[in-house]
A and B are shown apart, each in its own frame.
Chain A
Amino acid sequence: MTDLTDAARAIEGSRRKVLPEAWFAWLLVAPAMLFIAVIVAWPLAETIRLSFMEADLGGEHYVGLANYQDLLESRKFHDTIIRTFYWMFLSVSLKLILGLIGAVLLNAAVPGRGLFRVLVMPPWVIPIAIGCIGWLWLYNGYFGILSGTAQAIGLTDGPFEFLAYKNSAFYSAIVTDVWVGTPMVTLFFLAAMQGVSRDLYEAAWVDGAGRWYRFRRITIPQIMPVIVSMALLSAIWTFNSFEIIWILTEGGPRSATTTLIVDTYKTAIGNFKFGEGAARAVVIVALLATFSLFYLFFLNKVNKHYGVK
């Protein structure tokens, strides 16, 4: 086939003008590239420029590294970075664990699983902001069903405001973030599980391998590439998760839920300190890029370990 094609190409090439492959490829890629350049790269360059400026509504002037220096010396900013990574690791771990459990459950050959699959998806399909309004109400001490139930069964004496205390607000926001992220993870894991060849399971079954053994030795290794790539994507999205925190707590109480992205937004949009906000944005990008590189390095090792090319 290939020989034939080559021969055909040779003949064709002499008769009609064929666009070289590289040119054609760049012709196809260029529109997307240009779009990204204007809408992402240009603002990114602008952000880097602004991060060296003291900029507000009044104008801007060059201050060198002063914005970064302020960040380095700020105790609060250190706390924010640590909080953000804690937020990311906790939330992503929960999403992956719940997603895996969910996928196993929805993959089980029981009647009604088609319906269950549909019922899992709404948090993913609806606008994040709308789901958060529901959670806002759930967490309300006076009107929410969570506090209502807690009172009815005697867990608390009076209303409990989930979002009013530092710890409970942080973990409540985590729960909501996990709620938003889990359906997509579940769906991708489910899809990956269905792609695993049945022959593998049958061979193991004939050899007397139990369910748990098959799960550990066949399912997990087979879907490992999907798990690791979902983990990276999910980590990046969680790190940058803004709307959920903003709608639930606006970063409060007393900064308990202020992650880097919320801090950046508050600084730049809330207080009109564009330069300081830009420096924070650059820190986010730098941290995520470093994290991703380490991760991809690790991913390579995992893939080798599991024999995936």
Chain B
Amino acid sequence: MMDRYTKLQMAGIYFAITIFLIFILLPFFEMFMTSLRPLEHLFRSPYQFWSDDFSFDAYSQMWVTVPLLGRYILNSIFIATSVTAITMVFVVPAAYAYARLDFPFKSASLAIFLGVNMFTGAVLLIPLYRVLRTLGLLNTYWAMIVPGVAFLIPTGIWLLRSYLEKIPRELEEAAYVDGASRMYTLRRVVLPLAVPGLIVVGVAVFIGAYAQQFLFAITFNQQRELQPLPAGLYEFIGYQSVTWNEMMAAALVGVLPVMVIFLFLQKYLVAGLTAGAVKE
């Protein structure tokens, strides 16, 4: 009853959603159309929306132009997955401490974590380069993983803490009465209950790690075989010509695996955020 719309209102909503989605999806449409155009067509003037020589050739040719393309796609996923796993190892205990325990400098130290949000890699690039060199991590996967973890820990703690606060305390107290140690309680009682929250935070961290690989990759890593997809795509800007159509095809194919994974997880993501990850 309350949610009933008139026909006109329905039409208005669909119209507005369509406009919104056109804005969101336009670049993908453009990338797809570009990937279909033969290279010489790209530079044809005046502009043509469609012609008969559109083809999927770029999708097979791109693997030849940039032989390491498959490797780049896997690198991207590998780096983002490692960042997520390591970040969670740091985030889970810390978030639990902030959600449940009382200790000196609690709010001060939490403020420090949140303050890290004010930096991005770009601000600290030069000294970060030196630190990574000192630690001997330049030109390894670690050079792209370690900074990613550092900048995602604060967001992770912030998200997971509010989720953990929603879990009833009684279960932990019961475990305690039964003689369980603190660590055992955390591992065997709290963590299983927090699985939906862990998925949400994990997905959010993964997205952050996956989205922001470009800068660290081009700055801290010179080894071609280790580059993630966004950096690897620049190889299509070649010695003689830029094969734009193949670059677009590679970009679309490259993000496909993660998009598919995301399709399966998005249900949890929206549900999990609703369950309280953002509500203070």
Contact = CB atoms under 8 A, between A and B. Distances in A.
Given A127-B211, A187-B273, A292-B118, A50 B13 contact: no
B153 to A, nearest CB: 5
A285 B274 contact: no
Interface in A254-283: 261, 264-265, 268-269, 274, 277-278, 281
B97 A28 contact: yes
Interface in B114-147: 115-120, 122-128, 130-131, 146-147
B243 interface: no
B167 interface: no
Given A118-B266, A137-B34, A26 B103 contact: yes
Given A117-B266, A126-B211, A130-B251, A50 B126 contact: yes
A118 B278 contact: no
Interface string B6-28: 00001001101100110111111
A33 B109 contact: yes
Interface stretch (A68-76, A83-91, A100-108, A165-173): A100-108
A300 to B, nearest CB: 13
B47 A122 contact: no
B49 A148 contact: yes
Given A47-B123, A188-B273, A226-B278, 7 more contacts: A44-B127, A105-B16, A116-B21, A127-B255, A130-B254, A191-B273, A195-B274
Contacts of B151: 40
A232 B147 CA distance: 23
A1 B170 contact: yes
A43 B131 contact: yes
A108 B150 CA distance: 38
Interface stretch (B51-59, B60-68, B176-184, B191-199): B176-184
Q: Is the interface of B mostly helix, strand, loop or mixed?
A: helix
B225 interface: no
Contacts of A281: 123-124
A35 B153 contact: yes
A127 B213 contact: yes
A225 B123 CA distance: 29
Contacts of A110: 5, 10, 13-14
A308 B270 CA distance: 23
Contacts of B255: 125-127, 130
A191 B274 contact: yes
A105 B28 contact: no
A105 B24 CA distance: 14
Interface residues of B, number: 108
Contacts of A243: 212, 214-215
Contacts of B31: 133-134, 137
B126 A233 contact: no
Interface string A2-34: 101100110010001011011011111101110
A123 B104 CA distance: 41
A164 interface: no
The CB with the most chain B CB atoms within 10 A, among A128, A179, A225, A237, is that of A128
A190 B210 contact: no
A147 interface: yes
A77 interface: no
Contacts of B91: 32
Interface in B87-123: 89-91, 93-94, 96-98, 101-104, 106, 109, 112-113, 115-120, 122-123
A40 B21 contact: no
A268 B123 CA distance: 10
Given A226-B279, A242-B120, A122 B258 contact: no
B36 to A, nearest CB: 13
Contacts of B279: 192, 195, 225-226
A288 interface: yes
20 contacts: A1-B170, A5-B176, A8-B176, A22-B104, A32-B93, A39-B131, A105-B16, A122-B259, A125-B258, A125-B262, A127-B228, A133-B248, A137-B31, A143-B42, A143-B47, A143-B244, A145-B49, A179-B24, A225-B280, A269-B126
A8 B180 CA distance: 12
A98 to B, nearest CB: 8
A56 to B, nearest CB: 11
B210 to A, nearest CB: 6
B85 interface: no
A47 B3 contact: no
A138 interface: yes
B229 interface: yes
A79 interface: no
